[in-house]
Amino acid sequence: MKVMVVGGGGREHAIIKKIKESPLVDEIYALPGNGGIAKDAVCVPVKATDIDGITRFASENKIDFAVVAPDDPLVLGAVDALEGLGIKCFGPKANAAVIEGSKVFSKNLMQKYGIPTAEYRVFTELEEALEYLKDAPVPTVIKADGLALGKGVIIAETREAAFEAVRSMMEDKIFGESGSRVVIEEFLTGPEVSVLSFTDGKTVVPMVSSMDHKRALDGDKGLNTGGMGTVAPNPYYTEKIASECMEKIFLPTINAMNAEGRPFSGCLYFGLMLTEDGPKVIEYNCRFGDPETQVVLPLLESDLFDIFLHVAEGTLAEAEVKFSDGSACCVVMASDGYPKKYETGYEITMPADKNIYVAGARLEDGKLLTSGGRVLGVTETAPTLEQAVGAAYETVKTVSFENAYYRKDIGKKALDAVRG
Ligand code: AMP
Ligand code: GLY
């Protein structure tokens, strides 16, 4: 089959490397892909948000199957447009992608269907939000309604910071129109777990759990980033918690979306916090997480493309979805200075035979040069988490580019939890 993957980051590279193993896949195109992905797929210079460009390419090139990986094209209706042309897709339609595209939608959904999440209020007027914050408990969490490149969440430690946060979103529009409506919610505490799941709207099959490391610096200090590393499985996510999540969160969410006339098909990501009152939903994503995908897919033993086909056809219950009992660790190597200012254009050298997922690099005269903040993710799998972490850091030593920066403590929190 001729397959097209929309997107161009580490997540897409991990998806592409995995589906390349499938005997069902003959050709892979990446729109736009990147310099590293170019080793594994034909990269086509069409932006992931260019829905017309995507559909044109797909019909002109007789694409059989499309995987739409990032949030923006999903929210913009890429799947609706491609399916309109008769092309099978992995990914939700726009009316289901709204579960990530609007925080107000997802919070109201959870409230209506009794799915555990933080208490919240929605505001469309700045004055009302400021009035509410006068005696709201702090810390408090302020979220822009719409997509904001994963940056639309501000945790305000003090009342002053909370006022400042709503002003910046609603008045100064630091996240653009995303901030016209804000959600102000209760601050929850507890270990965070990411659970990606396959679903065709009837069956939901959770993948191996994982743990992201969002902060830029060791010890979870510094600014929030797109993710500096991941481990899987997440040791806090016990079998007991998994079955509680299935009963109280995963199935109810799938059923709620059906009841709303918005059946969800694709990868539904549950961002969970394990609070003293049980697991609660922090966020939903309508897609694979990044860099969670870089640890989850290397542990998948089944044919990923076969699962995609089953999801698209509504027969997920018949698919084989098997994960290894081992562990994985992904260390993200970034350009020093990320997520603020950083320099690019440095040559990357790396081994060819490793699970290295390229996110920010371009090809120039046959050389791979850095072109983004997060440059690549180095993943190793092993029977134990400790071995996987050790191996990932060994492989990191064999990758080099000027100005490389990475956290030295990916997996530490998870290992501490395992050791008790
Ligand atoms: P997001 O950008 O939606 O992934 O959120 C970023 C991070 O903010 C999450 O990973 C959590 O660590 C934190 N966060 C979001 N909502 C809450 C909440 N209600 N209580 C505490 N932390 C939160
Ligand atoms: N790693 C979090 C996300 O993909 O949104």
Give dist(CA 47, CA 45) in Å, integer.
6
Domains 2-91 and 192-318 share a fold: no
DSSP assignments along 338-356, one per residue: TTS------B-B--TTSEE
Contact criterion met (CB below 8 Å) for 256 and 369: no
Q: Which among 14, 5, 1 is positioned nearest to 357, based on CA atoms?
A: 14
pTM over 0.75? The answer is: yes
- What class, spelled out in words, does domain 125-180 have in CATH? alpha beta
CA 187 to ligand 2 center in whole angstroms? 19
The token duo for 360 is 């920010």
**Angle, alpha carbons 203-247-183 (nearest 5°):** 95
Q: Where are the beta strands (DSSP E) in 200-323?
A: 204-206, 211-212, 215-217, 221-224, 229-232, 266-275, 278-285
Mind listing the pLDDT tens digit for each residue in 24-49?
999 999 999 999 999 999 999 999 99
Residues whose beta carbon lies within 6 Å of some atom of ligand 1: 118, 141, 150, 153, 155, 185-188, 192, 214, 271, 282-283
Please list the helix, strand and coil fractions of the chain in percent, rounded to the nearest 5, in that order: 35, 30, 35
Where the chain has pLDDT below 70, the residues are 149-150
Strand partners, 331: 229, 378
Choice from 212, 234, 288 to test ligand 2 binding pocket (greatest atom count within 8 A of CB) = 212
The token duo for 206 is 């959770």
CA 153 to ligand 1 center in whole angstroms? 7
CA 59 to ligand 2 center in whole angstroms? 31
- The CATH code that applies to domain 192-318 is 3.30.470.20
Q: What is the pLDDT of residue 150?
A: 65
In ligand 2, which atom is closest to the CA atom of 227?
1
Mind listing the pLDDT tens digit for each residue in 256-275?
999 999 999 999 999 999 99
Query: Considering the domain 2-91, what is its CATH architecture?
Result: 3-Layer(aba) Sandwich (3.40)
Map out the domains of the chain as residue ranges: 2-91, 125-180, 192-318, 327-419
- What class, spelled out in words, does domain 327-419 have in CATH? alpha beta
Q: Which among 2, 24, 5, 27 is positioned nearest to 16, based on CA atoms?
A: 5
